[in-house]
Amino acid sequence: MEPTRQPIRVLVVDDHPMMRDGICASIERQDDLVVVGEASDGQEGLALFRELRPDVTLMDIQMPVLGGIEALETIRAERPDAVVLILTTYPGDAQAHRALQAGAAGYLLKSCLRKDLIDTIRAVHARRRVISPDVAQELALHAPQERLSDREVAVLRLVADGQSNKQIAWALQLSLETVKSHLKTIFEKLAVDDRTHAVTVATRRGYLS
């Protein structure tokens, strides 16, 4: 007689109560999965991860207090074998690249949850990496050398806030020429011609929230 398999223990971290309820309801309908905890932000999720040691952690990206990618980075630093599945509303490549670099086991769009969530949990638990097709396409479209550096993102955040080149230079303690050089590189990488379009494209791709 085969020994009874233990269900896959899942921690759900998302700041939207209705989203959490829907995810938990889907999981609880499965014989081989069980929800062991729920958290409403990354910091709470981190504390529950340390306490519960789940088999799989479902982690939203955009959350108050501590974001999902920051929580993922901390979890993976403490436990390199941790299985964390990132959930997101946006298919942009920048956040996905950062999450996968940090060791996310999967990257799933919330629009796919109803159809793909359960199979994806089982797949990442079996040590297979899963990426939503729309996200995989965005990653394939943008070569690594086209990605914005942390400094370029910092410049662009200030552009999005309506700061002039002079104000950006003062805020980041850079010369005016360096700011202009960063903006030129940003425009080239994003394939845009002006500041407004740069902010729009960077937001769509996930550099700016």
Nearest in space to 87 (alpha carbons), one of 116, 56, 115, 58 = 58
Convert the pLDDT of each residue in 44-98 to its tens digit.
999 999 999 999 999 999 898 999 999 999 999 999 999 999 999 888 888 898 8
pTM reported for the whole predicted model: 0.77
Domain 144-205: assigned CATH number: 1.10.10.10
Q: Which two tokens stand for residue 113?
A: 């949850």
Residue 2 has pLDDT above 60, yes or no: no
How confident is the model over 120-140, as a mean pLDDT?
92
Nearest in space to 55 (alpha carbons), one of 35, 30, 28 = 35
The set of long-range contacts for 95-100, using a CB threshold of 8 Å and a minimum separation of 24, is: 95/61, 95/69, 95/206, 96/131, 96/135, 96/138, 96/139, 96/206, 97/139, 97/147, 98/69, 99/61, 99/68, 99/69, 99/72, 100/131
Domains of the chain, by residue range, sit at: 8-141, 144-205
Nearest in space to 121 (alpha carbons), one of 108, 139, 138, 102 = 108
Q: Which two tokens stand for residue 29?
A: 């309908």
Q: What integer pLDDT is reported at residue 4 of this predicted model? A: 60
Q: What integer pLDDT is reported at residue 161 of this predicted model? A: 94
Same fold, 8-141 and 144-205: no
Task: Answer whether 180's CB lies under 8 Å from 166's CB.
Answer: no
Average pLDDT, the chain: 91
Share of the chain above pLDDT 90, in %: 73
Share of the chain above pLDDT 70, in %: 97
Convert the pLDDT of each residue in 154-183 to its tens digit.
999 999 999 999 999 999 999 999 999 999
β-pair partners for 34: 9
Class of domain 8-141: alpha beta
